């Protein structure tokens, strides 16, 4: 051996990150086996991290649990967990809190999301770049195949989140998410929902805690056999949004349980010298104050026309759900957007201060409009059973026109800077 030759360095074992991928299921006996086998084959073919697939059966009443047990017995990297109560959020909380992997993730059993997005989903979490990662069907680069009704509902829901909860993420309900384990252990005890709103609440709490949320555009194909009750899910989501709007829906972090690292000690404030009384300042600073009533009316009317067309289009799109359900969803979506537009354009108000109060006032006006519109539909059905869609639309236009004056007066009293 040459005097300059050096011995080969000893091999240093490298630690491979671990990922738990949860598939929450309820009565999925038909699709479960094929989906798990397909996912396991994909991961085994080149996924760079150690992985485990966990089938979380939440109180299925068909043969789902028996199939999950057989899959776990045949495949080394597949395990199964059974819960006695329903709820996708409940299943995810149970498995994620018990996990020992570096990253915990989940995907829908129908595998609607292209599996090639899995590595871009978890890689930023493994590297420490991000804390939470979500697939988005609404971002640039996404390719989505689904009907116009589901597309419209999804976009309307996320518009509600951005308007009311100031969400910074684009797609709350895509069934394709991942979280670093230590982050999940801090967030999950704060999440109250156990069902479909679980995803949204988790993301809102993560955003409020200052965590980094990474979005991955996905290719997504709608499952035509989905059994999700759209109306019931929408009602549940609206209740969840309302809960997060209330003060107690914003859990406070204590210094002993920080979500994003240690907090610096708080220095006591020095005594404050008495200050002379000053004229109180308004909480909301208007960008422009169109104080003239004619200008406000013109702006309000223009926004109302746009809102009416949007309402009619949404109503007709959702009409297969039933007249009352379509009316409720269409009115709510357009009411939130209408209030946001009037706040900015009609009354010249920007900023967060007072936004919640303004939107609550707008929703109160929405409730009045809902009563007028629903009552009009009921009266039409009582007087002219079987009336066509065109007659329904005419009646609803008249009813909403009657509610417009009430809405303008309410919003002006609420937002007008005295």
Q: Catalogue the active-site residues.
A: 199
* Secondary element (H or E) of residue 345: none
CA angle 62, 25, 124 (to 5 degrees): 165
Contact 82, 57 (CB under 8 A): yes
**Strand, coil or helix: what is 182?**
helix
Residues 6+ apart with CB under 8 A from 336: 159, 160, 163, 164, 359, 362, 363
A 10 A CB-CB count for 395 gives: 17
- Give me the DSSP letters along 118-167: HHHHHHHHHTTS-SEEEEESSSTT-EEE--HHHHHHHHHHHHHHHHHS--
Parallel/antiparallel/unpaired status of strands 132-136 and 176-180:
antiparallel
Closest by Cα among 412, 393, 402, 400 to 339: 412
Contact 286, 354 (CB under 8 A): no
């Amino acid at each position: 051996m040459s005097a300059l030759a050096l011995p080969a360095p000893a091999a240093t074992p490298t630690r491979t990150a671990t990922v738990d991928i949860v598939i929450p299921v309820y009565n999925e006996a038909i699709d479960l086996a094929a989906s798990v086998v397909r996912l396991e084959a994909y991961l085994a073919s080149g996924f760079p991290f150690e992985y485990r697939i966990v089938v979380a059966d939440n109180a299925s009443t068909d043969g789902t649990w028996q199939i999950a047990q057989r899959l776990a017995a045949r495949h080394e990297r597949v395990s199964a967990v059974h819960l006695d109560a329903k709820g996708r959020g409940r299943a995810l909380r149970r498995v994620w809190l018990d996990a020992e992997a570096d990253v915990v993730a989940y995907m829908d059993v129908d595998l609607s999301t292209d599996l090639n997005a899995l590595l871009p989903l978890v890689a930023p979490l493994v590297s420490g770049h991000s804390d939470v990662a979500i697939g988005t069907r609404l971002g640039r680069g996404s390719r989505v195949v689904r009907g116009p009704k589901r597309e419209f509902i999804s976009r309307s829901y996320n518009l509600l989140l951005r308007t009311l909860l100031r969400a910074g993420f684009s797609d709350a309900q895509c069934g394709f998410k991942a979280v670093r384990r230590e982050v999940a252990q801090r967030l999950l005890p704060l999440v109250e929902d156990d069902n479909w709103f679980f995803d949204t609440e988790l993301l809102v709490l993560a955003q409020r805690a200052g965590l980094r949320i990474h979005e991955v555009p996905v290719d997504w194909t709608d499952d035509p056999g989905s059994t999700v009750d759209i109306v019931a899910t929408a009602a549940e989501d609206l209740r969840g949004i309302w809960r997060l709007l209330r003060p107690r829906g914003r859990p406070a972090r204590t210094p002993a349980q920080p979500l994003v690292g240690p907090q610096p000690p708080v220095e006591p404030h020095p005594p404050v010298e008495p200050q002379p009384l000053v004229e109180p300042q308004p909480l909301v600073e208007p960008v422009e104050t169109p104080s003239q009533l004619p200008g406000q009316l013109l702006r309000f009317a223009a926004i109302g026309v746009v809102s009416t067309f949007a309402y009619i289009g949404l109503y007709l799109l959702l009409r297969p759900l039933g007249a009352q359900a379509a009316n409720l969803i269409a009115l709510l979506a357009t009411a939130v957007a209408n209030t946001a537009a009037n706040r900015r354009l009609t009354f010249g108000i920007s900023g967060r201060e007072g936004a919640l109060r303004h939107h609550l006032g707008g929703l109160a006006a929405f409730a009045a409009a809902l009563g007028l519109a629903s009552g009009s539909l009921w009266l039409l059905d009582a007087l002219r059973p079987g009336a066509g869609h065109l007659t329904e639309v005419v009646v609803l236009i008249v009813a909403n026109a009657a509610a417009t004056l009430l809405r303008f007066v309410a919003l002006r009293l609420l937002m007008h800077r005295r």
